[in-house]
Amino acid sequence: MKSLNYFITLITSLIISADSVLAQSNSDEHHVLYMEDISQRIESMTDVKISEDDSCIQLADSAIYGTLTLKPDTAGSPFNRGLPSWNGTALDENCGFLVQMRFPYGDGWSPWLTVGFWKAYIWSSYGQTTYSGGYIDIDYVKLYEYQSVWQFKVHFARFSIEDPSPTLHKLSFFTSDRSTTENMDYTALLNDNPDEIFIPTDFFYQYAIDDEIGGSICSPTSVSMALRSYDIEVDPLQFARDTKDPYFGIFGVWPRVVQNASEYGLNGAVTRYRSWSAAREVLAEGGRIVISVGLPLYEGHLMMLAGFTAEGNPIVHDPAKTDGYGKVYDKNNLALSWFAKGGISYTFFPQQGATAIAQDEILTTQIPVNFQLMQNYPNPFNPTTTIPFSLPEQSDVTIAIYDVTGRLIETLYSKNTIAGDHSIKWNAENLASGNYFIVMSTPDHYSVVKAILLR
């Protein structure tokens, strides 16, 4: 396994060069500012400060509003498309931050353009989004002329000094040329056959999450699956509700979804990919990718890239399909749907200091020899515990809880599941202390372990 320093270097490069895993053409560049970079690029601060532990920018103790303006940044290649995103916190509905950018225009600068905010819409005005040189298409910078320079400005606000301050610890801007997308070599994509890899997770079917909004939450549902693949607890419905942009009224604003994941401990950015192999490298280094696709598969949709088959065909977890777990789409159709739309994606890693998992190592050990239900842990427990199980081949699996009389208490899990090691959570907060039996059944196998709930 490669060292943690390798992973940190991979995801914290200020400018990811053209031959790196997140930028695969001469025009693609990923510009990332973490706190160390932000603190060195401050042009002005008004009523904001660097936190005492140097981990973030936040409001001054006595301030309810403040601004941070950074010095201009420069790309190595001219661009006319850009994908901004950020990581920070807004702990409740009474605080937030709003991000603006500007670009050279005439003999000076364009007006400040709002590219997004987090979390609640507490602003008296959203701000400007267009000028003669380009516009912000909700979350996407589209310029009519090539530029190579930009500047960030961040507004912080809260209703009172008793409210928590919003914080910011990362700014990201992925620059590119629209012609790179228009000139994609689809023959090369079809001949790009990465090695086998698979990222397991808990599957969420978006339409089952909520009757009212289920059809609109592919983006937060896919990111919820990415979170669960790291064993991070998440309620996909609450995650979707938190992600919804109250200004535009939609759930799929790219930087908001990335920002919401950062509240759960992920280091994320809106990025692009230009090849299957480049995406596979990120998966192998412990990253997660959620891809934005269009026609011919969908009008507009997001799903988690789960890996590649032994033949190099892409695997996805598609939240719009009841059988979407580990789904293998036609490679040509998925290439047209993703890369023709620009290869736009969310890329996540654990935050710095967390352990990244080399998925190559998981792949070599993830196919067990036997059907097995392992002992839950912790045990005894109160009130939640993890139930691990393993499958040597894909199978229908049911995991249920019974009391000592043999009465069925709850069916925790029932679905067709790919081979490998898996785990689910059991929350027994509504049950009394005592002994319970966890039963895993498949069409041909049956396993039982005893769990002890102690209040």
Q: Is the pLDDT of residue 118 over 90?
A: yes
Residue 369's pLDDT band (cuts 50, 70, 90): low
Q: What is the pLDDT of residues 378-426, one digit of tens each?
A: 888 888 888 988 888 888 999 999 988 888 999 999 988 877 778 888 9
- Position 11 pLDDT exceeds 80: no
> Which domains are seen in the chain, by residue range?
28-176 (2.60.120), 186-363 (3.90.70.10), 372-453 (2.60.40.1930)
d(CA 129, CA 114): 6
Q: Which single residue is written with the structure tokens 């097995």?
A: 372
Which burial class, exposed, middle or buried, applies to 419 when counting CB atoms under 10 A from its CB (0-12, 13-18, 19+)? middle
The pTM assigned to this predicted structure is 0.74
State pLDDT tens for residues 122-144.
999 999 999 999 999 999 999 99
Q: What is the pLDDT of residues 208-231, one digit of tens each?
A: 999 999 999 999 999 999 999 999
Distance CA 33, CA 41 (A): 9
**How far apart, in whole angstroms, are the C-alpha atoms of residue 74 and residue 134?**
18
